[in-house]
Amino acid sequence: MTYDNIVHGYCFCCRSIMSFDPDKVPSIPYLNGKKPICAACVEVGNAQRIKNGLEPIIPPPGAYEDCGP
């Protein structure tokens, strides 16, 4: 049996609360570490990345976990 490392925290961009696997979630380098980004902000960022000719960021399976009921 395997267990994922699930963390509850805030998106660095929009400050919404989310549950995520810190080893899989897309993040932004900041100071001496990485700051997580929620799926909604990744989608917004991907629109700009595509517009600029860059590949979109595709979060791996298990990057985000639902923290609802």
* pLDDT score at 58: 95
State yes or no: pLDDT of 1 exceeds 50.
no
Structure pTM? 0.81
Which uninterrupted H or E stretch holds 50? helix 39-51
* pLDDT score at 6: 86
pLDDT in tens, 3-50: 568 889 999 999 999 999 988 999 999 999 999 999 999 999 999 999
State yes or no: pLDDT of 67 exceeds 50.
yes
* pLDDT score at 5: 81
Contact by Cβ (8 Å): 18, 64: yes
Contact by Cβ (8 Å): 22, 5: yes
CA distance linking residue 2 with residue 29, whole number of Å = 28
3-state secondary structure of 52: coil
